[in-house]
Structure formats: structure tokens, C-alpha cells
Amino acid sequence: MNLFTILISTIFVKNYVFAQFLGICPFLGVSNKTETATGMGLAVTFVVTLSSVITWVIQKTILDKFGLQYLQTIVFILVIASLVQFVEMFLKKSSPNLYKALGVYLPLITTNCIVLGVAILNIEQKYNIIETIVNSLGASIGFAIALLLMAGIREKFDFADIPKPLQGFPIGLITSGLMAIAFLGFYGIV
């Protein structure tokens, strides 16, 4: 599979939020404003891409060599947690406002299943290092797009006449379901 196909298929066809249902928590939690959604998208992109590269290297150079594949989950989580800590420190220093806006969802990137999911799927698909980078970049761009689309729609909720029982979270769930169906339309492109 060439790199372009991997990129397009992870962004649209196999979109991690809409087609594989990973990373739903921050998708619903941080999609209230486009501004914070952009920040979250960038933070996740950084963490996913870097953690995929590091976990790939660790898997190939250490785990496979010593036959320690069963330690995969705990080692990957260790890498992800450290990276998220690093991103948190970096954001606190460089952009305090974004740090405040992301709030609790920033440390929660650690437990965002999209990060671990991409890292493990890279190994399972037997990607090489270049394909790993492209795949994780595509996954996080797909996540960022999903987040931004959702935030754009949710901002319009304020002006919409939504029936009372559906206001707030329920309409968010319905919207994301409809968006997932819409993304089904990309099936068959690749």
C-alpha cells in the first residue's frame, strides 16, 4: 500500500472517531468551541505521532529482541504518559490560555484510546517506520477534523431551536451518530 493511500484511508475511510470509535471521550468533551478543539487537535497530533514513532522503535529494538511482546501495553502506556506530561509542561509554559481551556482533558490524552490504539495497530499492521509516521499523522488529522467539524456544529446549537429533552449532550450524541453515517460515504474510495 503506498503512503498516500494510507494517509487518505486513515483520515477519511478508517477515521478513528467515526469508523473505529476510538477517542470518543475528548471528541465529545472538548468540542464545545472551535478554538479549544483546534488546540486539542494539535496536542493529540503531537502526542500520537511522536508516541507512535517512539513505541515503534522500542517495539523493534527492545521488545522483539528480548521476546517481551507481552510487555507491549504497559511500555506503550509509559511512553504515552510521559509524552503527555511533557506536552502539559510545554503548554503551561508557552500557552497558558490554551492550557486552561483544555483543562482536565489535557492529562486525559494519556487515557485517550486513540493514542494507544494507533501505536498498537501500527505494530499489528507490520508498518515500517515511514508508514508508521504517515499512519499516525493521518489518524490524528482525522481526529482533529472530526473534533473541528463537531465543534463547528455545536457552536450553532446555541442558535437552534432544540427540543428541551434533547438539549445539550443528547443532541451531541445524535449529531455524532449522523456524522459517523455521513463518513460511511467514504467507503469504497480506497
Partner 1 sequence: MSAILVPVVVLGGLGLLFGFSLGFASKAFAVETDPKADEIRKVLPGANCGACGYPGCDGCAVAIAEGNAPVSACIVGGSSVAEKIADIMGTDAGNVVREVATVLCQGDCSKAKNKYAYAGLRDCRAQNILAGGSKACSYGCLGCGTCVDVCDFDAIHIVNGVALVDKEKCVACQACIKVCPKGIIELVPYDNEVVVKCKSNDPGKVVRKNCSIGCIGCQICVKNCPENAFSFENNLARINYEKCTNCGICVGKCPTGAIFSGLEQLKENVQ
State yes or no: residue 97 binds partner 1 (CB under 8 A).
Answer: yes
Instruction: Please state the closest distance from residue 104 (CB atom) to partner 1, in A.
Output: 15
CA distance linking residue 184 with residue 19, whole number of Å = 7
Question: Using CB under 8 A, which residues numbered 147 to 176 contact partner 1?
Answer: 161
Q: Using CB under 8 A as the criterion, what x/- string covers residues 51-70 for binding partner 1? A: -------x---xx--x-x--
State yes or no: residue 73 binds partner 1 (CB under 8 A).
Answer: no
Considering beta carbons, is residue 91 or 139 the nearer one to partner 1? 91
CA distance linking residue 139 with residue 17, whole number of Å = 9
Q: From residue 27, how far is each of 24, 69, 131, 159 by CA, in Å?
A: 5, 31, 25, 21
| Among the listed residues 5, 85, 128, 167, the single contact to partner 1 using CB under 8 A | 85
| Among the listed residues 2, 74, 104, 169, the single contact to partner 1 using CB under 8 A | 74
Total number of residues binding partner 1 (CB under 8 A)?
21
| Among the listed residues 13, 48, 79, 98, the single contact to partner 1 using CB under 8 A | 79
Considering beta carbons, is residue 56 or 143 the nearer one to partner 1? 56
Residue 61, C-alpha cell as written in the block: 529494538
Q: 178 Cβ partners below 8 Å, 6+ apart?
A: none
Instruction: Please state the closest distance from residue 79 (CB atom) to partner 1, in A.
Output: 7
Residues engaged in binding partner 1 (CB under 8 A): 58, 62-63, 66, 68, 71, 74-75, 78-79, 82, 85-86, 89-90, 92-93, 96-97, 100, 161
